Amino acid sequence: MFKRCLIGLAALVTLSALASCSRGPKPTSEPAQPPGPPPPTTAHIAPSVEALIDSALTDPYAYEKLGELCDEIGHRLTGSRGMERAIAWSQLSMYQAGFDSVWTEPVTVPLWTRGHEWARCTAPVEFDLTMTGLGLSDGTGPDGIEAEIMVVASYDELDARAAEAEGKIVLFDMPWEGYGSVVKYRTGGASAAARHGAVAVLVRSATGVSLGAAHTGMMQYADDAPRIPAAALTVEDAGRLRRLAEKGLKPRVHLYMEAINHGETTSYNVVGDIRGRELPEEIVLVAGHLDSWDVGTGAQDDGAGVVLALASARILLKQDLRPRRTVRVVHFTTEEYGAQGGKAYLEAHRSELDRHVLAIECDSGAFAPRGFSVQADSTVVEALALAAAQLARVAPDEWSVSKGGSGADIGAIVREGVVGAGHRVDTTHYFDVHHSGADTFEKVDPDHLAQNVAAIAGLIYTVAESPARPGSIPAGQNSSGGHR
Ligand SMILES: [Zn+2]
């Protein structure tokens, strides 16, 4: 796929050059042509994109900004002091980068605090468990909850053994078959177990590789079940409890959590524009989410995305490239509790959605770049792949621009028809650190971060500078004319 695209763009450039070379001196009898506008191709964009990539690959800005966010501010749980400081940092960073306008937009969000928490196996052998309460869980009350553990590997097993669950702490120790296969137990396990009389829920952390870290994340209570506390255990501790249970030793756990749901509060999305020079009303949006979990410092999730959106827009200004369309950076609040920031953006901008030419979300970390997945019909995907083929230079072995999902924050506007793109990276090690105390600054490779800035800046500029919106004219007229 990407090879064909590369050939397409190369052919376009080559054919244009050939055409102008082979024409030769004009016959003296032919009247001089009046100068007209440049032809509507994307070929003139290529040299600027090359310069952007070169500049981004050697610019320390993104890594320095990520260090500020992770080390000087730290975690950014919604409603926390860190998140408030991060919102101010985001605005200041956009001003300092030279954005034309920067503002905040209010978002109603849940306010949850963790408080002190612990868990301990009390029988048949005493040992401390490494745990983390799940986001939006209720607490246990001052005495905690002590009960026998019932270990299941799936909802099917829970249903089959439902009669055993009364009065127990249910532990979901499900096999890791990718995030999508296990996250449903983290979000819905508490209510599923509570329907059968369980008094609390523990889940095996959602990761394939574990070095003793517990991984948190959002849970949700169903309306038709009692609200029982929910926490994640390390893979190691979940396994030990399962092995004890399999031997018939009836392990017991004492769980203590001070977590409180306080209702709602107000947080803010931060929005910054670099105004387009010819079509300022048309917007190319690039985004990450500013909030994080309160374990670790949210470096890969999603400090990296925040910095990628900021740095890729800023490098256009640094290179003195002001594209035709407006480039808009959005630092969303509260992705982790259900993308409330993205939904609020939709409501605030519903009347101007048709002016959003493309929305790009960066929320997969900053590992080795792999391209973009585009959530649109095939014509648009093809047109974008063709226009952005030049970016394969940043990851020559495994690059693609192909059809796929975009992201949680921009999901709301994409569902309303905006073309969405997800920034893709090598996610082999993403879930090793995701939502855990291990998601810290030193896990981000500065070279990978710079390569991702280069790729995203190149895509933003290509689309914002392109004469036509991606897919709005037949691909053959835009750039694939080079095939013929
Ligand atoms: Zn995220």
Task: Say how many C-beta atoms besides its own lie within 10 A of residue 20's C-beta.
Answer: 9
Rounded to whole angstroms, the Cα distance separating 53 from 58 reads 9
Q: How many CA atoms lie within 13 A of 39 on its CB side?
A: 12
E strands, 381-482, in order: 400-403, 420-425
Per-residue pLDDT 10s for the chain (484 aa) are 333 333 333 333 322 222 223 333 333 444 455 555 544 456 789 999 999 999 999 999 999 999 999 999 999 999 999 999 999 999 999 999 999 999 999 999 999 999 999 999 999 999 999 999 999 999 999 999 999 999 999 999 999 999 999 999 999 999 999 999 999 999 999 999 999 999 999 999 999 999 999 999 999 999 999 999 999 999 999 999 999 999 999 999 999 999 999 999 999 999 999 999 999 999 999 999 999 999 999 999 999 999 999 999 999 999 999 999 999 999 999 999 999 999 999 999 999 999 999 999 999 999 999 999 999 999 899 989 988 899 999 987 799 999 999 999 999 999 999 999 999 999 999 999 999 999 999 999 999 999 999 999 999 999 999 988 876 643 333 333 222 2
pLDDT at 17: 28
Nearest to 196 by CA among 223, 232, 160, 230: 160
Residue 91 alpha carbon to ligand 1 centre in Å: 20
Task: Say how many C-beta atoms besides its own lie within 10 A of residue 447's C-beta.
Answer: 11
Residue 344 alpha carbon to ligand 1 centre in Å: 17
Nearest to 175 by CA among 203, 153, 199: 153
Token pair recorded at residue 269? 């999305």
This prediction's pTM: 0.89
Rounded to whole angstroms, the Cα distance separating 357 from 459 reads 12
Residue 165 alpha carbon to ligand 1 centre in Å: 33
**Count of positions (residues) in the chain:** 484
pLDDT at 11: 30
Residue with tokens 């979901």: 172
Nearest to 121 by CA among 254, 257, 256: 254
Residue 179 alpha carbon to ligand 1 centre in Å: 13
Q: What is the CA radius of gyration of the chain?
A: 26
Q: How many CA atoms lie within 13 A of 203 on its CB side?
A: 33
Residue 457 alpha carbon to ligand 1 centre in Å: 20
The per-residue DSSP string of 239-257 comes to HHHHHHHHTT---EEEEEE
Residue 301 alpha carbon to ligand 1 centre in Å: 5
Rounded to whole angstroms, the Cα distance separating 288 from 308 reads 8
Q: So which residues are the catalytic ones?
A: 335
Tell which phi-psi region holds residue 286, choosing left (phi > 0), alpha (psi between -120 and 50) or beta: beta
Token pair recorded at residue 183? 């996250």
Residue 334 alpha carbon to ligand 1 centre in Å: 10
What ranges in 24-161 are assigned the alpha helix state H?
46-57, 61-67, 81-97, 155-160
Residue 435 alpha carbon to ligand 1 centre in Å: 9
Rounded to whole angstroms, the Cα distance separating 291 from 262 reads 18
Residue 293 alpha carbon to ligand 1 centre in Å: 9
